Amino acid sequence: MIRTAFRIVLGLAYLAAGVLHIAAPAPFLSIMPDWVPAPEFVIFATGIAEVLGAVALLQPLSPGLRKAGAIGLAAYAVCVFPANINHFALDMAKSDQGLGLAYHVPRMVLQPILVWLALWSGGVTDWPFRRRQ
């Protein structure tokens, strides 16, 4: 029951983020590292990836598709981490420190938790809740 609730919340959050990436890419473009080629396409593609992963995670009928969506969203969270680090560095270099440490430190800590949450809520792993045999 709790796993399902987390799966639904995470799926809806990724669905909303994916739609935002597609409909309003400007904020995401502003934090994109300079070394990323074709940033507009990358933002669009990440939005599509979020939407597809969310739809797979949210659907109730195919555990295999749910697991695939969970793995995709976990991989996505790993792949966008450089943009989050870049955003942190850009903000800290501003005279007013942008969104500040109160925003960025929890965001950095949350990223690996999002990776785990996608895998756990999607049924890919039971760690750390699995009982020892």
Closest C-alpha among 4, 124, 130 to residue 67:
124
Does residue 117 register a pLDDT over 90? yes
Determine contact, residues 87/104, Cβ cutoff 8 Å. yes
What count of other Cβ atoms lies within 10 Å of the Cβ of residue 48?
Answer: 12
User: pLDDT digit string (tens) for 71-109?
Assistant: 999 999 999 898 899 899 999 999 999 898 999 999 999
User: pLDDT digit string (tens) for 20-31?
Assistant: 999 999 999 988
Structure pTM? 0.87
Helices (H), 59-122: 63-79, 81-93, 101-121
pLDDT at 33: 86
Q: Report d(CA 77, CA 116) in Å as an integer.
A: 10
